C-alpha cells in the first residue's frame, strides 16, 4: 500500500524548548494565586484554569481529561468515559500520545516547512543543525508540548476569553486537530490557542485535544475490525467534539456553533469526519477550515492491511495471537514495535494512517463524497492547499522508470492495467510527448494529486456553492508553511518569533487570520476581514477552479487553480473506485462507477 504519509505539521517539535509565551509575553504560572483562578465543574471532576493572559484576557484550562486512559482492555478500543475524581485538577497532569519518527527526517522536513522562504524563522535552522543521535535521544513527547509521552494522553486544552466566563456572551468554538503524519503531534506547544482567540478579538473559544497516533491510533486490518478498533485516533477526535457538545456551555461556548480546523493529517482527519459512517451521523460541527488535507489510500482491508497487522503483531511478540495479546503486552513492547515498524517502512513513508474499515471509514473519502454519502449539515468550508505540497516528500531514489513502477506497485500492487493507466497519466521523462523533464517532477505530481490537492477538489465538488478556496504561495509555499500564519501572534513564541527578513509577515498574518476567524464567527470569510484583504468569493467550479484566493508575498489576489484540475482529480477518483470495486469493498448502495479495472461481480462482496 502507498503510505507516503506526509509530515503534515511536523512543526510541533521544540515547542517546549523555550519558555512558554503568549503573544510575546510570558505566561504567569500563578502558583501563589491559584485559588483565584476560575474552575470548570464537570460531571466527573473539576478543573481550574492553569494560566491567565491578562494582556488579552484569556484563561487557559489545560489538560482536561476527556476520556479514560486507553490502556489494558481500552487499548485499541473506543475512548471510554473518565473516572470520577474529587480532587481539583490544575492542569499539571497530562501527557502526549506515544509517537515516533525517523530522526534523520526531522531537520530537513522541519526546516523546509518552517522556512517557507522569506517568512521562515530560526527553528528550522536550529533543527537542521541538531545531529540525528541527539534527536534520537530526546523524548519527542516532551518536544511537542512539554509533556512526556504516555498512553494516558487523552486530554484537551480550552482557551476562554474572560467575558465568556463571566456569562456576558455565548461564543462560537474553534476545535483544532493537529497534523503530524498520523504518527506525531500534540494539542499544545506551537498550537497554543491564544493567538487564535486574540485574532478573533476575544470572540471565539479555542479547544484542542490529543488523539492516539501510530499503531496505538491507526493499526488496521480485518483482525482489528473483529477484535479491536481501526482508526482509534478518529474516535478520539470525535470524543473531543462530543465533549464540546456536552460541556462547552460551562465556559460560555455555543455547542451549536462549532468550527473544526486542521492542517495536513488534521485536515485529512476532518475529511474522514465529514464522510464518517457514510454521512449518517452528525459530525458535531457546522463549519470547517481544511488546510492541505492529506492521507494515503489504504483500502485493502483483508489483504494489505491485514498483512500489516500480522507483521506488527509479530514484531510485538504476538504472532498469531490477535488483539488480546497486543492489549496484554506492556507499553514498552508496543512502543518498541511501533518504532521498529516505522523505521522499517520504505523511505518517505511512516507506516500508519487512516484505513477503510467498513464502519467509521466505509470507503475512501473521495468515493463517499462523489456518491453523496457525507455530512450535508456542514454549512460552509474553507479549503486550502499550498503551492508546493509534494517537493519535500519526493524520494530521490526514484531515478528511472523501473523505480517508478516499483513505487506504483508499493501503493497499488502489481496490476498491469492499473500500472498502464498511471504511467499513461504520468509519462516517463524519456517519452517524446512527456510533460516531465525529470523523474522528480513526475513523482512530485503523482504525490501531489493523489495525496493532497485532489482532496480539495473532491470537497469543493461535494459542497458546491459552499466553499472558499485558497492557495498559500507565500515564500516557497511548501507543505506546512501556512501554519505559521494560523498561529502567529507577535514576537517571541515558537511560531511568533519575529518576522525575520519578511518584515511584512506580521501584517499578512493578521489579515490571513481575519479571514479564518471571520469564518468561525459568521460562516463568511469576508464579513469581519480587516483592511488590506480583498473580497474572497465562493469558488467557481470548472475544468479548473476559479475565484481562488492566492496568498502571496505581495498580499492577496484571485486566480484559477492549476493544482486541482478536473482531469487530474477525475483520474485519481477512478483509480480509487476501480481498486475498491475490484476487491469488493464498496458499501452496498454506494458503488461508484469505475473504468480502469473490471469490477468484481459483486462490488460489495467483501464490505
Domain ranges across the chain? 10-388+467-558
Judge residue 134's burial from the number of C-beta atoms within 10 Å of its C-beta, 0-12 exposed, 13-18 middle, 19 or more buried. Answer: exposed
Task: Tell me the three cell numbers of residue 303.
Answer: 489483504
Task: Return the pLDDT at 499.
Answer: 55
Task: Tell me the three cell numbers of residue 60.
Answer: 487557559
Q: Which of 148-157, 396-405, 542-551 has the lowest mean pLDDT?
A: 396-405
Task: Return the pLDDT at 600.
Answer: 96
Task: Return the pLDDT at 397.
Answer: 78
Cβ atoms of residues 380 and 523 within 8 Å: yes
Give which of 478, 460, 446, 426 is closest to 566, Cα–Cα.
Answer: 460
Query: What is the residue-wise DSSP string for 122-180?
Result: SHHHHHHHS-HHHHHHS-HHHHHHS--B-S---EEEEEEEHHHHTTS--EEEEEEE--S
264 is catalytic: yes
Q: What is the mean pLDDT of the chain?
A: 88
Q: To 5 degrees, how large is the angle CA 357–CA 359–CA 360?
A: 90
Distance from C-alpha of 397 to C-alpha of 293, rounded to nearest angstrom: 26
Specify the CATH class of 10-388+467-558 in words.
alpha beta
226 Cβ contact partners less than 8 Å away, ≥ 6 residues apart: none
Task: Return the pLDDT at 257.
Answer: 99
Strand partners, 389: none
414 Cβ contact partners less than 8 Å away, ≥ 6 residues apart: none
Catalytic, out of 264, 371, 444, 578: 264
223-229 average pLDDT score: 98
> pLDDT band for position 506 (50/70/90)?
very high
DSSP 94: -
70-83 average pLDDT score: 98
pLDDT higher than threshold 50 for residue 19 = no
62-84 average pLDDT score: 98
pLDDT higher than threshold 60 for residue 15 = no
Owner of C-alpha cell 463524497: 369
Phi, psi at 390, each rounded to 5°: -105, -20
pLDDT higher than threshold 50 for residue 245 = yes
368-406 per-position pLDDT tens digit: 999 999 999 999 999 999 999 998 888 777 899 999 999
Q: To 5 degrees, how large is the angle CA 80–CA 211–CA 296?
A: 125
Task: Tell me the three cell numbers of residue 560.
Answer: 484559477
Task: Return the pLDDT at 344.
Answer: 82
Residue spans of alpha helices (H) in 200-303:
214-218, 222-227, 232-247, 265-274
465-496 per-position pLDDT tens digit: 999 999 999 999 999 999 999 999 854 445 66
Distance from C-alpha of 206 to C-alpha of 197, rounded to nearest angstrom: 7
Task: Return the pLDDT at 497.
Answer: 54
Amino acid at each position: 500500500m502507498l503510505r507516503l504519509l506526509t509530515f503534515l505539521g511536523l512543526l510541533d517539535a521544540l515547542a517546549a524548548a523555550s519558555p512558554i509565551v503568549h503573544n510575546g509575553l510570558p505566561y504567569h504560572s500563578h502558583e501563589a494565586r491559584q485559588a483565584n483562578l476560575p474552575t470548570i465543574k464537570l460531571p466527573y471532576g473539576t478543573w481550574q484554569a492553569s494560566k491567565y493572559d491578562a494582556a488579552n484576557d484569556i484563561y487557559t484550562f489545560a489538560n482536561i481529561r476527556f476520556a479514560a486512559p486507553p490502556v489494558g482492555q481500552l487499548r485499541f478500543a473506543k475512548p471510554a468515559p473518565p473516572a470520577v475524581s474529587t480532587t481539583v485538577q490544575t492542569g499539571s497532569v497530562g501527557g502526549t500520545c506515544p509517537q515516533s519518527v525517523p530522526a534523520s527526517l526531522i531537520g530537513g522536513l522541519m526546516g523546509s516547512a518552517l522556512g517557507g522562504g522569506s517568512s521562515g524563522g530560526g527553528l528550522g535552522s536550529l533543527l537542521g543543525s541538531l545531529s540525528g543521535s541527539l534527536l534520537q535521544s530526546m523524548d519527542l513527547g516532551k518536544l511537542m508540548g512539554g509533556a512526556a509521552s504516555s498512553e494516558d494522553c487523552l486530554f484537551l486544552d480550552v482557551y476562554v476569553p474572560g467575558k465568556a466566563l463571566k456569562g456576558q456572551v455565548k461564543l462560537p468554538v474553534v476545535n483544532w486537530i493537529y497534523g503530524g503524519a498520523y504518527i506525531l503531534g500534540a494539542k499544545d506547544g506551537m498550537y497554543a490557542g491564544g493567538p487564535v482567540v486574540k485574532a478573533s478579538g476575544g470572540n471565539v473559544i479555542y479547544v484542542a485535544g490529543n488523539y492516539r497516533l501510530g499503531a496505538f491510533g491507526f493499526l488496521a486490518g480485518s483482525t482489528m475490525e473483529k477484535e479491536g478498533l481501526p482508526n482509534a485516533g478518529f474516535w478520539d477526535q470525535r470524543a473531543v467534539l462530543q465533549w464540546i457538545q456536552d460541556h462547552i456551555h460551562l465556559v460560555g461556548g455555543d455547542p451549536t456553533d462549532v468550527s473544526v480546523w486542521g492542517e495536513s493529517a488534521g485536515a485529512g482527519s476532518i475529511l474522514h469526519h465529514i464522510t464518517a459512517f457514510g454521512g449518517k451521523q452528525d459530525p458535531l460541527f457546522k463549519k470547517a477550515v481544511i488546510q492541505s488535507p492529506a492521507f494515503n489510500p489504504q483500502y485493502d482491508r483483508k489483504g494489505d492491511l491485514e498483512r500489516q497487522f500480522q507483521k506488527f503483531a509479530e514484531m510485538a511478540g504476538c504472532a498469531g495471537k490477535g488483539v488480546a495479546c497486543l492489549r496484554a503486552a506492556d507499553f514498552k513492547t508496543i512502543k518498541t514495535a511501533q518504532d521498529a515498524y516505522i523505521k522499517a517502512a520504505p523511505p518517505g513513508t511512516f507506516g500508519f494512517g487512516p484505513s477503510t474499515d467498513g464502519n467509521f471509514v466505509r470507503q475512501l473519502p473521495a468515493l463517499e463524497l462523489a456518491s453523496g454519502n457525507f455530512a450535508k449539515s456542514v454549512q460552509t468550508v474553507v479549503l486550502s492547499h499550498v503551492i508546493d505540497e509534494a517537493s519535500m516528500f519526493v524520494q530521490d531514489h526514484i531515478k528511472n522508470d523501473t523505480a517508478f513502477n516499483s513505487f506504483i506497485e508499493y501503493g497499488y500492487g502489481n496490476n498491469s492495467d492499473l500500472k498502464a493507466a498511471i504511467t499513461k497519466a504520468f509519462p516517463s521523462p524519456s517519452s517524446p510527448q512527456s510533460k516531465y523533464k525529470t523523474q522528480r517532477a513526475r513523482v512530485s505530481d503523482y504525490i501531489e494529486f493523489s495525496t493532497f490537492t485532489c482532496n480539495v477538489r473532491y470537497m469543493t465538488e461535494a459542497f458546491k456553492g459552499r466553499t472558499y478556496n485558497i492557495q498559500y504561495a507565500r515564500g516557497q509555499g511548501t507543505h506546512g508553511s501556512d501554519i505559521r500564519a494560523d498561529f502567529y501572534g507577535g514576537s517571541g513564541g515558537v511560531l511568533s518569533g519575529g518576522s525575520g527578513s519578511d518584515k511584512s509577515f506580521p501584517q499578512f498574518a493578521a489579515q490571513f487570520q481575519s479571514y479564518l476567524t471571520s469564518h468561525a464567527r459568521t460562516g463568511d470569510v469576508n464579513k469581519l476581514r480587516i483592511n488590506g484583504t480583498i473580497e474572497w468569493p465562493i469558488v467557481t467550479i470548472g475544468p479548473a477552479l476559479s475565484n481562488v484566493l492566492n496568498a502571496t508575498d505581495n498580499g492577496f489576489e484571485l486566480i484559477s487553480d492549476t493544482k486541482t484540475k478536473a482531469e487530474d482529480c477525475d483520474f485519481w477518483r477512478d483509480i480509487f473506485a476501480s481498486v475498491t470495486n475490484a476487491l469488493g469493498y464498496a458499501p452496498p448502495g454506494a458503488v461508484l462507477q469505475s473504468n480502469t479495472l473490471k469490477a468484481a461481480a459483486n462490488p460489495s462482496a467483501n464490505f
